[in-house]
Structure 1
């Protein structure tokens, strides 16, 4: 009996020890969890706010605008209120000739100092058209600013102030390291309140709004009117974005704000500081994304790359790129889609020789291209067609849900296309066809099928047969509407 009693005593001791160990582990886990939470979200943001506040500025702009002609048109002629408004208008006339007096319009925004010698970053729309720009610092000091340069494409402006001594400034961080869920601070001059701080997290990355070079960080930190041009900080006090826009049905913050990523801003600021303007690389092609049906039509395994729809006069044409080429790599970097390619080209230096890899007729080719300057290309001439004129056919034919006929001189004049353009005019589209679903309409001109020129019904028929023989499910058509080209892939269906 005694051994059994001893055994029971040891079991109780073990149980007590086990409970103590478990409690100890739970206590350690709780301490570790508290440490992690403290690291993720500090008890107070006051030390960080105190550190970065001196570099954030309020911006007030003043613009002289033409005076209005008064309330003409507000009341109908003969109204009993007409005399009242005429008297009001007479009181506001600026000179003896009755011309309205000019008036000053003011606007508010935010910005931040990026160097001790007084360079200030803000949004272009904050200072656009202003003839007076006043910078107010956290200390209350006010200085007049001059514009060094602006970039409407990214809505960034670089200003300069002259101070008696070095100014407090902040540095840009690597916005690519910002993760969804990271804590951020927005600072600025919301609704004219001045030097206001709001906190939130990174809600999303790589947002595009409407610009070619957009790369926005989305945040739920409160951003309102007047915050424009202000900085978005990470917890290290580095600027990872410039607060630019909000999504709001009522004009106020609903927790969806957008900051232009710092890695975009730094390139723009460096060029504005060096040249007073931007100098972006220019490839000289018109492109569209590769969809699944387009990928099938040209034999791509995946819907990636950028499909060239037109090659106007410029670097790409000089280098030998062609309509229908799919750009799969640019300067050694794989091309996922058109947006990524546009940004990469724009970030490349003017005059650089880059290797562009394209897929052409099932084979890849690497072509060196010397980049031009995007800003010089805005007035580039329209491309010239070099295809020989083919003899037009008078008859029409139905194919792929389309009624088609070859271009004639009368049609060229009616549609406003180039005299030397050849192709097939869409005269009708079946309402329930795939062509209608993909937006083809009467008046569209098909100039290529299967990446080969077509100027007759027989050439289109041969392209259809060739695609079927190659096992393709779709046929790629180059469609031009009003001079604008795009590729459309139509399912071939059964013979």
Structure 2
């Protein structure tokens, strides 16, 4: 299976002052001004080889001044080796050596979207950076500040102290066709290769991917990333650069590649310009992104269910409905099968989250549901994730998670009770404790803890854990920011003890 990699040099991570848009299609970013893109051009209707060649050249000439190179300095701790490593004395004297800060330079790309120095790039290009610098086509270097970031969409907006810059024009990604020519810009592999241009076609549209738990944050269960697939060459360092059409308009932000080698193999992915415009506008205006919230967890309907009950191929099974959230208020229940949204049958269950993500808080959405063989239609008024987080903070301050599911997101563990049936299936002697069913490897604390699926938690913070109810009670009593011990029993019956730290600012 090919790996999916962020197209940022040094990374192998996958496992919007004036107008967004061309004249007449600008988005209002600050109440008075719009993005002032000026790269759009008119191409000749002729189709001779010479004209075709000229078309590419004209796009490159128009767009490149809006393309920038981004350098992200990140400080990491590097452990110094000890002289006893690899010797018989390592066990006795091979204590870890002192750590030493190591500054690493990440390489990425970006595109100017406002002439006053606002730049769009990928969030993963600038995440955790201590210092950001931007280089324009003419070689001028600028220090950059972060205006806002959005992990969910993997987008970020930077600002440099400049004016009169050339900004990209925005195209309509909804009007793209498979087979349409596109050009990718950026700094692949090496800083010296800045403003490189590659050409290809749109290979596919609507490639859907569910983001990691870390990017989702708390229990949304309805978020999906939607990508344009292209065969224009994208390599590490191209992340955050523009994908444009032959009119010089932005249609996507280059983000990732699928590869078995870590390099270009003809499969690249870009975030559609419609998403970029929506997210960048909110980041510039508000500094964050407010998303519509449905309040369910769901997964694909089994093939046997689809065939036996003649359901749409992309039907989604609701596995959980959050109490008090929009879906629950509208009457949805766990076990419902969502077959259509806004009257359109689902071809892929991820389309549900993709549609919700494109809506705003307060919007109404119609869901067609199959419940116990009967078809029903529910109208849900979508909430706002930000509003819900604020409400939690107002009602309980920085209190503990309010449900097992949100607690599990908090820790980076998926858990369930050890029922008699589970105990029999796993060959356990006792039907007590809490079973770890999955771990979030993107969470550094969990990754380093040694915790694994199929382990059973039987003690935490010095208290016996018999089920999820006692687990939640004990966890709530742990002070935020405090470390605590956790004892688990491995599948082979041996006991393993580790230590975790309760995140600060829960709620």
Q: TM-score category by the smaller chain?
A: 0.5 to 0.7
Give the SS at the match of 2:252.
strand
Query: 1:159 Cα deviation (Å)?
Result: 0.9
1:312/1:382 contact within 8 Å kept: no
Give the SS at the match of 1:133.
strand
| Distance (Å, rounded) in 1 between the aligned partners of 2:340 and 2:231 | 36
Given the alignment, which residue of 178, 185, 188 partners 2:186? 188
RMSD value, Cα: 3.7
| Distance (Å, rounded) in 2 between the aligned partners of 1:358 and 1:209 | 23
Query: 1:373 Cα deviation (Å)?
Result: 3.0
Larger Rg over CA atoms: 1
Alignment correspondent of 1:307? 317
| Shift in CA distance, 48/353, structure 1 to aligned 2, threshold 3 Å | closer
Task: Within 5 Å, give how 1:403-414 maps onto structure 2.
Answer: 413=432
Alignment correspondent of 1:488? none
Deviates more, 1:112-121 or 1:274-283: 274-283
2:208/2:350 contact within 8 Å kept: no
User: Could you report, residue by residue, the CA deviation over 1:15-44 in whole angstroms, capped at 9, with x for unpaired residues?
Assistant: xxxxxxxxxxxxxxxxxxx95455994345
Give the SS at the match of 1:191.
coil
2:312/2:345 contact within 8 Å kept: no
Give the SS at the match of 1:66.
strand
Alignment correspondent of 1:200? 200
Give the SS at the match of 1:216.
strand
For the pair 1:278 / 2:289, whether they are aligned, the reply is yes
Give the SS at the match of 1:117.
coil
1:311/1:383 contact within 8 Å kept: no
| Distance (Å, rounded) in 1 between the aligned partners of 2:315 and 2:241 | 36
User: Could you report, residue by residue, the CA deviation over 1:406-426 in whole angstroms, capped at 9, with x for unpaired residues?
Assistant: xxxx98636769xxxxxxxxx
Task: Within 5 Å, give how 1:33-182 maps onto structure 2.
Answer: 35-36=46-47, 38=49, 41-43=52-54, 45-71=56-82, 74-76=85-87, 100-163=99-162, 165-182=163-180
Alignment TM-score, normalising by the size of structure 1: 0.62
2:55/2:246 contact within 8 Å kept: no
Task: Within 5 Å, give how 1:170-249 maps onto structure 2.
Answer: 170-192=168-190, 193-209=193-209, 211=211, 212-249=223-260
1:310/1:322 contact within 8 Å kept: yes
Instruction: Count how many residue pairs are aligned between Structure 1 and Structure 2.
Output: 349
| Distance (Å, rounded) in 2 between the aligned partners of 1:59 and 1:240 | 20
| Distance (Å, rounded) in 2 between the aligned partners of 1:76 and 1:374 | 55
| Distance (Å, rounded) in 2 between the aligned partners of 1:50 and 1:341 | 40
2:243/2:250 contact within 8 Å kept: yes
Alignment correspondent of 1:5? none
Given the alignment, which residue of 341, 357, 376 partners 1:330? 341
Give the SS at the match of 2:114.
coil
| Distance (Å, rounded) in 1 between the aligned partners of 2:357 and 2:207 | 18
| Distance (Å, rounded) in 1 between the aligned partners of 2:321 and 2:281 | 31
| Distance (Å, rounded) in 2 between the aligned partners of 1:145 and 1:187 | 20
**Gaps spanning 5+ residues in structure 2: where?**
1-44, 212-222, 393-400, 407-419, 437-453, 455-507
